[in-house]
Amino acid sequence: AQSVTQLDSQVPVFEEAPVELRCNYSSSVSVYLFWYVQYPNQGLQLLLKYLSGSTLVKGINGFEAEFNKSQTSFHLRKPSVHISDTAEYFCAVSEGSSNTGKLIFGQGTTLQVKP
């Protein structure tokens, strides 16, 4: 069975500082990996995805993530955060190309950007 672990429930950081949100997954088959962001009272928005190919994936709003197969990790990074990045971030996996509607999510990480 697949599972996703987000290692930090809350990450406080000052504006313009770098940030890393950590995600580890467990699966016995090939997976697709995703990061979604949820702003208050809204649905989820896709930040980036890893399907295959280059292990460094760039997404929207200056975020990037690196897939590490040996460590089964997919950490999200941003070199300089803004107040507007304050939100909840979810790491997710899906099993293969025909199951991308069925996502297994981590518990989420709340990013709190302080002025």
Rounded to an integer, what distance in angstroms lies between the CA atom of residue 35 and that of residue 49?
6
Rounded to an integer, what distance in angstroms lies between the CA atom of residue 83 and that of residue 56?
25
Burial-class residue 54 by CB neighbours within 10 Å (0-12, 13-18, 19+): exposed
The residue within the footprint of other proteins, chosen from 60, 82, 107, 114 (CB under 8 A), is 107
Helix (H, G, I), strand (E, B) or coil at 50: strand
Size of the site for other proteins (CB under 8 A): 26
Build a one-symbol-per-residue string for 67-96: x at contacts with other proteins by CB under 8 A, - elsewhere.
-----------------------x-x-x--
Residue with tokens 């304050």: 86
Using the contact rule CB under 8 A, the part of the chain among 11-19, 64-72, 74-82, 102-110 near other proteins is 102-110
Residues at the contact surface with other proteins, assessed by CB under 8 A: 32, 34, 36, 41-46, 49, 51, 90, 92, 94, 97-108
